[in-house]
Structure formats: C-alpha cells, structure tokens
Amino acid sequence: MQHPDLQGDSLVEKTLEESTLPGITEGEIVVIRSSRRKKNISAYRQGGRIVVSIPARMSKADERAMVPEMVAKIRAQEAVATMSEETLLIRVAELLTQFAPEISARPASVNWRAMRERWGSCTGIDRSIRISDRLKGAPEYVLDYVLFHEAIHLEYFDHGQEFKELLARFPQEEQAEAYLQGYEAAENALTAPEALKKLLNKGA
C-alpha cells in the first residue's frame, strides 16, 4: 500500500528558506542554523526526520548540549502518542465493526515495522498486519485509515470495486490520503540530493 503527500511541501520550503548555514545531518536528525532565530530553538518531525532549528550564532558547544535535549523531547512525545501492538489489534476490530461489519476475516496480529516504501502491509495466510513506524505520532484518523485499509485487504486482496466501496466508508478518507501524500512529498524533498545540495550551498 503506497501513497504519495500535501502539507509537507510547505514545511520543506519553510525549512530550506530559513536556513543560512548547514548544521549537522546525522541519520534521522537534521540541525539547521537560522539567521531568523536569535535565542529560541525549535524541533519537529518532518519527512521522517527530526529537524532542529537553532540560531545561526549558537556556539558548537551549546549546539552539542541543546540538540540532544530537543531530540529526546520529540521522541518522548512520540512514545506517549504511540499505540501498543495490543491496542492496535483492538482498534482494527473496532474499525471493522463500525465500518465493515460484514467482513469476517479479522487480523491475528498487528505489528509496528520499520517500513519506508509502504505505510502498511498484510498477509492473508497468518492474518497479520504490519504498520510503518513512520505513523507513530501521526494523527489518529490517519493511523485508523491505514489500519482499516489493511484490514479490508484480509478479505479483498486487490484494489477492486468491492475494496474501494468498503474503504470509502471511512469518513476521513480524503484527509488521510492528503496527509500521507504530504508526508511522502516532504520526506522525498528532504532526502533528495538536490534539496540537500541546495541546503549546503546556502551556507557556502
């Protein structure tokens, strides 16, 4: 199950515009030095990475001290917002009961997985559902949408008319699709070689 993104474009544009000097890029963490910032620091998820924006004049010593704190804060917030796998299984059952009670196939397990190419996947043989860990901390309706999508696939393996009719029962289908498409657009823009090159050239 793959989807393209929306609000991510403006977020990436904002990040690239405000950066004046490259900070550090380490795995999922990107630090940007901004001339617009005088004292305050911000941290947020964007495109699958944690972006920390700091004042351009901040010393390297302060950067090394403050960035880990901001990253830890973001991860702590996400941990609180993340459903356990047992809760995910219960949630799928609730969604099916509410929107597609005629579906008899119910998942035996729902697990978080490190998936970058898909938002979710399922296997009919063992009735297992896997959800991308990129959805940790996502709005509840987005996670619900992906769970519902994969749960329907346990009975309808393709994206035929019956599948589409069931999926359309989800009240926030369009909004969820827009969020997922925006997320992927932001992720692609942030990791694209030209975007990173532009970011580094600004500090030259």
Cβ neighbours of residue 160 closer than 8 Å, sequence gap 6 or more: none
| 123 and 92 fall within a common domain | yes
- Please check whether residues 75 and 91 belong to one and the same domain: no
User: Is 177 inside any structural domain?
Assistant: no
pLDDT in tens, the chain (204 residues): 444 333 333 333 333 333 333 334 445 788 888 888 777 888 887 766 788 888 888 888 888 888 888 888 877 777 656 788 899 999 999 999 999 999 988 999 999 988 888 999 999 899 999 999 888 878 889 999 999 999 999 999 899 999 999 999 999 999 999 999 888 887 777 665 554 455 455 444
Quick one: pLDDT at residue 9?
A: 33
Q: What is the CATH number of the domain that holds 124?
A: 3.30.2010.10
In a shared domain, residues 46 and 73: yes
Evaluate whether residue 53 is within a structural domain. Answer: yes
Instruction: With respect to residue 1, please indicate whether it lies within any of the assigned structural domains.
Output: no
Task: Identify the CA nearest to 164 among candidates 173, 12, 176, 172.
Answer: 173
For residue 29, being part of any structural domain is answered with yes
- Spatial strand order of the sheet with 49-55 comes to 19-26, 29-34, 49-55, 42-46
User: What pTM was estimated for this model as a whole?
Assistant: 0.61
Domain of 135, in residue numbers: 85-171
